[in-house]
């Protein structure tokens, strides 16, 4: 249940990044991946156990954002064809 926050935030981030200008995707994505990963660690209270949970939550946000972003791009290219 604790891993829903980084997955859902990554889904939202990937959807938002597909709407951004190409020159802004990487900087905005990088900052928000770290911010949302840190938020997921804080919101779930995992930081009380160890701050090493950041090393799990940040890649989880990044992976779900990347999957969502590429999925949205595939859907957009299918609409154009």
Looking at residue 1, its pLDDT comes to: 66
The total of structural domains in the chain comes to 1
Looking at residue 69, its pLDDT comes to: 95
CB 37 within 8 A of CB 13: no
Looking at residue 81, its pLDDT comes to: 63
Q: What is the rounded distance in angstroms from the CA atom of residue 54 to the CA atom of residue 10?
A: 14
65 by Cβ neighbours in 10 Å (0-12 / 13-18 / 19+) ranks as: buried
* Per-residue confidence in pLDDT tens, the chain, 81 aa: 678 999 999 999 999 999 999 999 999 999 999 999 999 999 998 999 999 999 999 999 999 999 999 999 998 887 776
Range of the structural domain that residue 67 is part of: 4-80
């Amino acid at each position: 249940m604790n891993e829903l926050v980084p997955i859902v935030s990554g889904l939202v981030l990937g959807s938002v990044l597909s709407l951004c200008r190409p020159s802004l995707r990487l900087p905005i994505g990088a900052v928000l991946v770290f911010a949302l990963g840190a938020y997921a660690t804080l919101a779930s209270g995992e930081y009380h156990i160890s701050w090493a949970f950041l090393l799990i939550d940040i890649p989880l946000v990044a992976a779900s954002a990347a999957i969502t972003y590429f999925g949205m791009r595939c859907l957009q290219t299918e609409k154009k064809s």
